[in-house]
Amino acid sequence: MKRFLIGLLMFFAVSTGSSLQADEGMWLFNNLPAEYLKSKYGFEATPEWTEHLMKSSVRFNVGGSASFISSNGLVLTNHHVGSDTLFKISNKEHNYLKDGFLAKSFSDEIKAPDLELNQLITIEDVTDAVKAAVQETMSTEGAVAARRAVIAQIEKDSLDKTGLRSNVVTLYGGGRYHLYRYKKYTDVRLVWAPESAIAFFGGDADNFEFPRYCLDACIFRVYENDKPAVIEHFLKWSDNGAGEDELVFVSGNPGRTSRIFTTDALKYQRDVRMPFVLNLLRRREIVLQQFGLKGVENARRAREDLFGIQNSRKAYLGMIGGLQDPQVMAAKEKAEMQLLAKIKSDPKLKSYESAFATIAEIQKKRVAILGKNIALNSQLFGVAKTIVEMVDEDKKASGERLPEYSEANRESLEQQLYSDAPIYSDLEQYLLADSLSMMLELRGADDELATKVMNGLGPTERAAELVQNTKLLDVVYRKELVKSGSEGIESCNDSMIRLARILDADTREFRKINDELAEGEKQAYAKIAEVLFATKGTSTYPDATFTLRLAFGTVKGYEQAGESIPAWTKFGGAFEHETNHTGQEDFVLPETWKKAKENLNPETPFDFVCTADIIGGNSGSPVVNRDGELVGLIFDGNIQSLTSDYMYSDKDMRATSVHSSAIREALKYVYNAGHIVDQLGK
Amino acid sequence: MKRFLIGLLMFFAVSTGSSLQADEGMWLFNNLPAEYLKSKYGFEATPEWTEHLMKSSVRFNVGGSASFISSNGLVLTNHHVGSDTLFKISNKEHNYLKDGFLAKSFSDEIKAPDLELNQLITIEDVTDAVKAAVQETMSTEGAVAARRAVIAQIEKDSLDKTGLRSNVVTLYGGGRYHLYRYKKYTDVRLVWAPESAIAFFGGDADNFEFPRYCLDACIFRVYENDKPAVIEHFLKWSDNGAGEDELVFVSGNPGRTSRIFTTDALKYQRDVRMPFVLNLLRRREIVLQQFGLKGVENARRAREDLFGIQNSRKAYLGMIGGLQDPQVMAAKEKAEMQLLAKIKSDPKLKSYESAFATIAEIQKKRVAILGKNIALNSQLFGVAKTIVEMVDEDKKASGERLPEYSEANRESLEQQLYSDAPIYSDLEQYLLADSLSMMLELRGADDELATKVMNGLGPTERAAELVQNTKLLDVVYRKELVKSGSEGIESCNDSMIRLARILDADTREFRKINDELAEGEKQAYAKIAEVLFATKGTSTYPDATFTLRLAFGTVKGYEQAGESIPAWTKFGGAFEHETNHTGQEDFVLPETWKKAKENLNPETPFDFVCTADIIGGNSGSPVVNRDGELVGLIFDGNIQSLTSDYMYSDKDMRATSVHSSAIREALKYVYNAGHIVDQLGK
């Protein structure tokens, strides 16, 4: 399970108004459900336990989670989280993504071109400061600007003071603002990755299913000053992993959930946005498949994007499937009616009632603008757009800029902008042609701006012209352009830069409209959050925001179509699974596994499920026991869990993990990586 | 190249107003371009030559073309035209579609479950009779009814008189009406088919490309009274095929073209309908792929549909790509301006000017209704819908019914309705679930009718309920239901029948609206046709109507991206093509070819291109020389030819054929089918 694609609109919101389900919640590390854990599980999360787990957790800024697993900088995550890097360090000769990799020594470890890992150090409540900057009398536009300015200032001050990456996080849809400070690691090197055939055994068919037999794991190492970093907080490796019904914890970064969404907002998702996104995903899936059909190297180039798209498509299908179930929607409506009844009956809350109508109104406006912006699927165009915006934004004070260009975010932005990860011109051209075609479909081919974009050519020809007449593949040229400032950009005749300039005004205008809608929603959801605080206190959790959360649950199987699904699979099952799917290309075990078969204990646990409440972005999260020892590695949720975007149930929703023993045994017996095993948890 | 899917809206229209391009045209057999052929090629199509070719030509009602190639009933067509039958006669044990088939003797030949072949016998102009029945004073609805009635009567009278299948064809978008009489063959048996790996060598990647190396051919035999039919008109087999620049003719059934479309109509296609259809095609493609991933037998069940969808998707992408090219649209606009100028300057034509505005208005109405009908992708639902409608329609006089239920069409309809071709419940359920989900997206899940359709369930659950509670898999039950009449249908609690009844009124209403729009277009295009007749006489050809047409051209290579593409490929090239694509699954030659390699002459021509003007539906058309001998078998058009839907050019548009020698040599040396070779052309 990959975090849903960045750029397909992010969500924010606050936790549901309905009563908490058993084991529900993606809890803030500074507001854990202490009472519940104690009464139900007799477990007490001490400050030391909590801090240790928090600081042992790692965020991958490509959209996943991870953990420190040794004092000398080893980081464990999923193969599909590392795959972005595996892809970027591969080429026609070495396909590490497909064939795997093992460093025999430190000097073999391969540096990732643009990976940034974050370790959460502190959380500080800055709600008062942020709220004080926004006055009720302000226009929507004014409110956006004022909040943006105060947040940029808080982040900048924190960065200056601590040297730590500092981000203000909007929680409970605007009910609270917390400042998160991270230690950044930007020298990250690949240590080990298995073959994609075992990391993603069963392929798209098995994705989001259980039973599974995937070693969806890989190991990086963080460096400082060109040496393995010395890590204070890291997870011990459990000897045997977790047993049936055992309490486990998941510490990771869920990307987004929509649990507080009003029914109007959910219906917009169900009837408008999700169908739109699904059409887009299917379109990209087919385009990438088509590109891959042209040859083996083409297939390699398209593979990483294709996997991400297929994963999102299957996730969205699960989400829309739930929303299209009348019973699911009826439950949501019922909960909303109850909340509304409470508001109406309480004079203190009555003023919050309008929030629901406001959200409904905003959904209508969202319908009207959906797909009207020109979003071109091209990395080179993305580079051009960033440069054009950056040069412009840099003329303003940091707090007045679009947030990604603020001073506090500059270092991370430049790491991406000046990355020398490969960009393939042929793939770029192919995707851009489709993207231009889609623009013409969405705006109508006679649209004035679209006509300017096309420059008198058809999509295929224009894409060729654009890709063949840009120098932005060259990172040095990018830096020169930024340095050349406004004048340089204005006189620049690079094809992509010129295109970015053509689109700049429209992109900014669309963003402004979108920001205002988001602001309106933010204010309305903040009101609903206040209602919840008023009735429940803050003993609830906010919707996911791709920041560190703690989930918990027990290791437990479930019922599916009358069948009992056990909590575990075992190594032996993987070989049977292959036999049961003879003739299907995604079900062929790697040679390494076939060779190692006789040395592997068929009873070794492989993958397991638990009831913890997770979602995309939790990929790579460590699963730990009461003692904080690593017992598993989250890599997926079952198909039933896809509706957890808007509601949780422990009935049959499950989080799927690789068992800690499977990773250790495979390292030892399949990959002959005893030297890595020796470092685990030490 | 498969004929674009029936059901995705058919087109009609009349030939372009711009001046004829060299070798352009899909000519009526009763109105060939005699003068042009004589002056450019010194060729005279005598009545005997014409009648012989016409009667040697065969239409496959699944959407393709073919020809008689022996006196004892052999019929040659494409593997991808025969594939519908190859799929239907296959099962888990015998996959004839994939593995091929060869009958050693008559008794081995396998009967197709529901194939109807048509041989065109006569063409009669009935324009006056049809036009006389429709008065200017009639409402649109009245005009539809009156025309429908007179056409049904003409067809019925003809059927009664001649016993031949009789269809009135609307030509020049309503400018002319011709009665086509066909001899029907319904006992059709499979004689030979190659493996799909060579029929579709290069797969989706090579589809619509050239050079090609495909043996996209198969052979059936028609029977009468359980004996091989005795055929008077059949094609001789050319000894060596056609040479470079040689004049060739293509006799087949192009499905539809849109060459007369006004620019407003083309823009509706470009900006609205084609994007909609492409989203639908991509959606079905992904769904079929997903179903196929579940196992080898699943993949087999999905394969035939999947191929059709992929083919359509690629074809539509080519079409929309052309329309999105500003230069193509500018050329269309220029031609239209010229025609309009002519109309305005001629007092006799002035009254026709409004036709363009009428068509523009209708496009707006089409935008408003597109996708609003509920079209469920389920064969079982299709059966239920047909039964419910049929029982209702049968209460009316033949001429008042929806045309497909008229007496003249009854036999063909029943052959489909009572076919015992396999329907796979698991595939049905899977496709229906997606289809229900799409309905909810298009209408909004709170829509009243959609809510009735869902019966309180989500798409997956409702699809399961529908498929598991119908008995329509049983052909006997279908017959009983029809027999039970209105009362039987009303009291029937079969799930699919009940669903068809829920949807009946809405379906009829949508059809009525659609028929009225089509009628409005018909009247407008008929006016434009009159302008063309007035300026050019009838020395032009009507847009394609899936009826027999003659195209012609020369065998000729072309330039592509500065590269010279030769007119031919050779057997030897197929083996090189495999080597050049090692590691790609669609580029593996069958074992039979590898074994036969040393017996094959690498210089044998394999596939070739010519300038003839064809389109989807021409698949399987014979290519003949001046002497009427078979020199090739149309199976595709190149990627450039996809825009021939709305314009033709001989610059780089090419029709792709299997060379007659390739078929003969492969039969002999690869398939050891000397006994078939001995019958060819004899």
Q: pLDDT by residue (tens digit) across B119-173?
A: 999 999 999 999 999 888 898 889 989 999 999 999 999 999 999 999 999 998 8
pLDDT tens-digit map of A560-591? 988 999 999 999 999 999 999 998 999 999 99
Does residue A400 share a domain with residue A367? Answer: no
Residue B24 lies in a domain: yes
pLDDT of residue A540: 85
For residue A9, pLDDT over 60 is answered with no
Lowest mean pLDDT among A140-144, A543-547, B314-318: A140-144
Strands B605-610 and B568-570: antiparallel
Return the number of CB contacts < 8 Å for A and B: 122
Chain B, nearest residue to A279 by Cα: B279
End-of-domain residue from the set A483, A517, A551: A517
User: Cβ–Cβ contacts within 10 Å for residue B397, how many?
Assistant: 11
Using the beta-carbon criterion (under 8 Å), do A203 and B270 form an inter-chain contact?
Answer: no
Cβ of B458 within 8 Å of Cβ of A282? The answer is no
At residue A631 the predicted structure's pLDDT band, cuts being 50, 70 and 90, is: very high
**Residue in A closest to B433 by C-alpha:** A321
Alpha carbon of residue B276 to chain centroid: 20
- Is A555 contained in some domain? yes
CATH number at residue A234: 2.40.10.120
Structural domain contains residue A528: no
Short-list A515, A524, A26, CA closest to A255: A26
- Residue A300 domain-assigned (yes or no): yes
CA dist., res. A505 & res. A523, Å (int): 27
CA distances from B476 to A295, A309, B115, B423 (A): 50, 45, 19, 15
Task: Compute the Cα dihedral for B520, B522, B528, B534 and give only its sign.
Answer: negative
Residue B102: exposure state from Cβ atoms within 10 A (0-12, 13-18, ≥19): middle
A411 within some domain: yes
Taken in order B482, B487, B492, B498, is the CA torsion positive or negative? positive
Residues of A in contact with B325 (CB under 8 A): 457-458, 461
Rounded to a whole number, what is the distance in Å from the CA of A535 to chain B's nearest CA? 31
For residue A586, the chain B residues in CB contact (below 8 A) are 293
pLDDT over 80 (residue A13): no
**Structure token pair of residue B562:** 């500065």
pLDDT category of residue A21 using cuts at 50, 70 and 90: low
Q: Give the confidence band of A18 by pLDDT, cuts at 50, 70, 90.
A: very low
Per-residue confidence (pLDDT) for residue A3, from 0 to 100: 38
| A440/B290 touch (CB, cutoff 8 Å), yes or no | no
Residue spans of beta strands (DSSP E) within B520-588: 549-554, 558-560, 563-565, 568-570
Residue A321 and residue A238 share a domain: no
- Reading the block at residue A349, the tokens are 């809350």
| Residue to test with chain A: of B95, B269, B271, B588, most A Cβ within 10 A | B271
Rounded CA separation B574/B602 (Å): 9
pLDDT at site B10? 32
User: Is the Cα dihedral B75, B79, B85, B91 positive or negative?
Assistant: positive
Residues A365 and A453 occupy one common structural domain: no
Same domain, A353 and A275: yes
Chain A neighbors of B643, CB-CB under 8 A: none
Which of the listed residues A371, A389, A421 is the one where a domain comes to its end?
A: A371
| Spatial CA neighbour of A412 closest among A130, A155, A136 | A155
Residue A495 CA to residue A449 CA, distance in Å, equals 16
Q: Do the domain assignments include residue B534? A: no
- Statement to judge: residues A105 and A222 lie in one domain: yes
Min Cα distance A143 → chain B (Å) is 34
Q: What ipTM was assigned to the predicted interfaces of this complex?
A: 0.93
Give the DSSP letter of residue A179.
E
The pLDDT-based confidence of A538 (bands split at 50, 70, 90) is: low
Share of chain B above pLDDT 70, in %: 97
Sorting pLDDT into bands at 50, 70 and 90, what band is A175? Answer: confident
Same domain? B68 vs B135:
no
Q: CB-CB: which of A286, A457, A459 is closest to B313?
A: A286
Residues of A in contact with B320 (CB under 8 A): 437, 441
For residue B352, the distance in angstroms to the closest alpha carbon of chain A comes to: 27
Q: Where are the beta strands (DSSP E) in B234-332?
A: 247-252
Same domain, A220 and A81: yes
Cα–Cα distance list, A367 to A260, A271, A363 (Å): 20, 10, 6
- Does B160 lie in the same domain as B92? no
d(CA B420, CA A68): 62
The list of chain B residues with pLDDT below 50 reads: 1-18
The confidence score (pLDDT) of residue B19 equals 53
Q: What is the pLDDT of residues A352-388, one digit of tens each?
A: 899 999 999 999 999 999 998 999 999 999 999 999 9
Chain A residues whose beta carbon lies within 8 Å of the beta carbon of residue B326: 445, 451, 454, 456-458
Which pTM does this prediction carry? 0.94
Residue B286: closest CA among chain A residues belongs to which residue?
A: A282
Which among A188, A215, A203, A223 is positioned nearest to A59, based on CA atoms? A188
Flag if A328 and B205 touch (Cβ within 8 Å).
Answer: no
The per-residue pLDDT for B16 is 40
CA–CA separation, A51 and A550 (whole Å): 12
Q: Which alpha helices (DSSP H) does B346-378 contain, by range? A: 354-369
Answer yes or no: is pLDDT of A143 > 60: yes
Residue with tokens 């032996």: A572
Same domain as A234, residue A159: no
Residue A14's nearest CA partner among A255, A265, A250, A257 is A257
CA torsion through residues B402, B405, B409, B415, sign: positive
User: How far, CA to CA in Å, does A407 sit from each of A59, A186, B396?
Assistant: 21, 18, 78
Per-residue pLDDT reduced to its tens digit, A425-463:
999 999 999 999 999 999 999 999 999 999 999 999 999
Q: Per the structure, how many domains does chain B have? A: 3
Question: What pLDDT is stored for residue A493 in this prediction?
Answer: 96
Tokens of A30: 């500074």
User: Element (H or E) spanning B193, and its range?
Assistant: strand B187-193
The yes-or-no verdict on residue A8 having pLDDT over 50 is no
The average pLDDT across A514-534 equals 90
**Token digits for A565?**
């699904």
Question: Which range marks the domain in which residue A307 is found?
Answer: 264-371
Interface test with A, best of B207, B270, B324, B457 (most A CBs within 10 A): B324
Residue contact B583–A320, C-beta within 8 A: no
Distance CA B440, CA B431 (A): 14
Chain B residues whose beta carbon lies within 8 Å of the beta carbon of residue A454: 326
Question: Is residue B255, in this structure, part of any structural domain at all?
Answer: yes
pLDDT of residue A6: 32
A223: helix, strand or coil: strand
Chain A's closest residue to B206, CA to CA, is A294
Residues B510 and B642 in one domain: no
Nearest CA in chain A to B310: A286
Token pair for A536: 């429940």
Contacts 24+ apart (CB under 8 A), A677-680: A679/A70, A679/A72, A679/A74, A680/A69, A680/A70, A680/A74, A680/A237
Residues A199 and A330 in one domain: no
Contact B23, B553 (CB under 8 A): yes
- Chain B nearest C-alpha distance from A220 (Å): 31
Integer angstrom CA distances of residue A648 from A24, A265, A611: 6, 18, 10
Of all residues in chain A, the one with the smallest CA distance to B209 is A294
Beta-carbon separation of A445 and B324 below 8 A = yes
Classify A377 as helix, strand or coil: coil
Give the nearest partner residue to A437 out of B296, B320, B458, using CB atoms. Answer: B320
**Beta carbons of B267 and A446 less than 8 Å apart:** yes
- Closest to B614 in 3D by CA, of B553, B679, B531: B553
Q: Do B437 and A203 touch (CB under 8 A)?
A: no
Mapped onto helix, strand or coil, the DSSP state of residue B172 is helix
Contact A2, A62 (CB under 8 A): no
Other residues' Cβ atoms within 10 Å of the Cβ of residue B69: 28
Do residue B205 and residue A586 have CB atoms under 8 angstroms apart?
no
Asked if B669 and B550 sit in the same domain, the reply is: yes
Cα separation of B521 and B355, whole Å?
A: 8
Residue A22 has a pLDDT of: 78
Nearest-neighbour CA in chain B from A582: distance (Å): 8
Pick from A517, A533, A554: which residue ends a domain?
Answer: A517
In a domain, B523, yes or no: no
